[in-house]
Amino acid sequence: MRSRFEEQLKNLKNELITMGGMIVQAITTANKALIEQNLELAQWTIDFDREIDLKEKEIEDLCLKILLQQQPVARDLRLISAVLKMITDLERIGDQAADISEIVIYLVDKEYIKKLEHIPQMAEFTKQMVTESIEAFVNDDLDLARKVITDDDAVDELFMVVKSELISLIHKDAANGDQALDLLMIAKYFERIGDHATNLAEWVVFSHTGTHKYFSTEE
């Protein structure tokens, strides 16, 4: 019975790895579409969000099947509960990558008012955070999970830099206002992606310790 359970958990982790890879691809493509002002890549990212939604449902169904069949307790129950929470955050990241791409479509034929620098850096940080959160979960690496939580500070700092630069451009020329707000919204979406990646890492910690900033459980 336990061997069957272990096989189901292994499959669950593999599915989570797959969804994590899909999310990293969505962030990568949204960022590339932004940098290159590429309409096709932006539209691909929007369409890809449907596949992410389907993957979330598949993993959710797998979790519920395990819960019904195995009736896990203690850490096993926390692990499955953590996965259910993590796929919600991953799905929301997919939504935000699609939201970024929708703004990119509007900006495709417009010359940027500034060189893009810090927003792509935010994208790279968030991709790393998502990847490391999934790795931390699969490899039972609490130290890596806690590193991801700390790394969110870098994303927040970059957002503040972008915000300051765009406000300055508006002050210099009010005509910059519309695009500055669009770029600020994109930066805000990346900042939110960083928050969701942090949530992923916090659920990894929960699966080990039973403690979370919103609630806790005991063995």
Q: How large is the average pLDDT for residues 111-117?
A: 94
* pLDDT at 150 exceeding the cut of 90: yes
pLDDT of residue 219: 38
CATH number, residue 32: 1.20.58.220
| Dihedral sign for Cα atoms in the order 148, 149, 150, 155 | positive
Tell me if 90 is assigned to some domain.
yes
Tell me if 45 is assigned to some domain.
yes
Angle (nearest 5°) at CA 111 between 192 and 33: 45
Tell me if 149 is assigned to some domain.
yes
* Beta-carbon-side half-sphere exposure of residue 219 (alpha carbons within 13 Å): 3
Tell me if 215 is assigned to some domain.
no
Tell me if 217 is assigned to some domain.
no
Tell me if 146 is assigned to some domain.
yes
Q: How large is the average pLDDT for residues 83-93?
A: 98
Least confident of 42-46, 134-138, 181-185, 212-216: 212-216
* pLDDT at 98 exceeding the cut of 50: yes
* pLDDT at 70 exceeding the cut of 70: yes
* Beta-carbon-side half-sphere exposure of residue 75 (alpha carbons within 13 Å): 6
pLDDT level of residue 210 (50, 70, 90 thresholds): confident
Look over the chain and give the mean of its residue pLDDT values, rounded to a whole number: 94
pLDDT of residue 148: 97
User: Coil, strand or helix: which one is 216?
Assistant: strand
Tell me if 216 is assigned to some domain.
no
Range of the domain at 57: 2-209
Q: How large is the average pLDDT for residues 132-150?
A: 96
pLDDT of residue 3: 84
How many domains does one find in the chain?
1
208 vs 212 pLDDT, higher one = 208
Residue 189 burial (CB count, 10 A):
24
Query: How long a stretch of residues is the chain?
Result: 219
Tell me if 28 is assigned to some domain.
yes
Q: How large is the average pLDDT for residues 153-159?
A: 98
* pLDDT at 128 exceeding the cut of 50: yes
Three-state SS across the chain?
CHHHHHHHHHHHHHHHHHHHHHHHHHHHHHHHHHHHCCHHHHHHHHHHHHHHHHHHHHHHHHHHHHHHHHCCCHHHHHHHHHHHHHHHHHHHHHHHHHHHHHHHHHHCCCCCCCCCCHHHHHHHHHHHHHHHHHHHHHCCCHHHHHHHHHHHHHHHHHHHHHHHHHHHHHHHCHHHHHHHHHHHHHHHHHHHHHHHHHHHHHHHHHHHHCECCCCECCC
Q: CB neighbours of 81 closer than 8 A, spacing ≥ 6?
A: 206, 207
pLDDT of residue 216: 47
